[in-house]
Amino acid sequence: MEILPAIDLRQGKVVRLNQGDFDRQTTFSEDPVSVAQGFVEAGATRIHIVDLDGALEGTPRQTNLYLSIARSVGVPIELGGGIRTHDDVEMILATGIDRIVLGTAAVENPGMVAKAILQHGAERIVVGLDANNGKVAIGGWRETTNRDATDLMSTMAEIGVKRFAFTDIARDGTLTQPNFASVAKMVEHAQTLGGVKLIASGGIGEISHLTKLAELGVEAAIVGSSIYRRRIDLSEALAEMRRL
């Protein structure tokens, strides 16, 4: 299982939110490039970046910063946050960002997601399934829809999406443990769709949580707060995943 260390950007700083609440923010660094370089030195082969300002405002806001990160590390970057139009997709993928995460756009503009896959290939497009009690949240997690995460996965798989990032918002940033039951449900549903892969996020607080996710069949896990709070040593976690 791949580990994706996370860098959440807000106003140029590396931050973490608790359960997606922008009023419960902790700032960990004012030098995102240095943080990313540290992840690569620890052995990370891909980094997950979220433009939180973009997620709030509905358009990418920290383009220069995440491009600086990408240029500085030389490993693939997975980027999400505020990517909601075809022009956003074209601009970001043209810069060399490896793959993008589409959340709100998948709910509000599925045609745009289909067009992105047609033009850039399924390997460069991830759909984010950010859920409150199984219901998809959009708009920087400020609005919860009536759409089941499994239903959205099915719809997106039909138009060619092959990879999904599932976050249980209630667990995000808590370090308690992932919602393993929900993750297992999503993995099982993905298996019924044929060739669909799942990335898990939310609540990961120790290496044993990563081991359990790997056993469930998750392709990758996004890890943030546990690294910053030194609950997980990234190099040790990567080594453990290689041993599985």
Give the residue numbers annotated as catalytic, written as ranges: 8, 130
**Six token digits for residue 78:** 């997975």
User: Alpha-carbon distance 51 to 73, whole Å?
Assistant: 18
Nearest to residue 137, comparing CAs of 104, 109, 100, 170?
A: 104
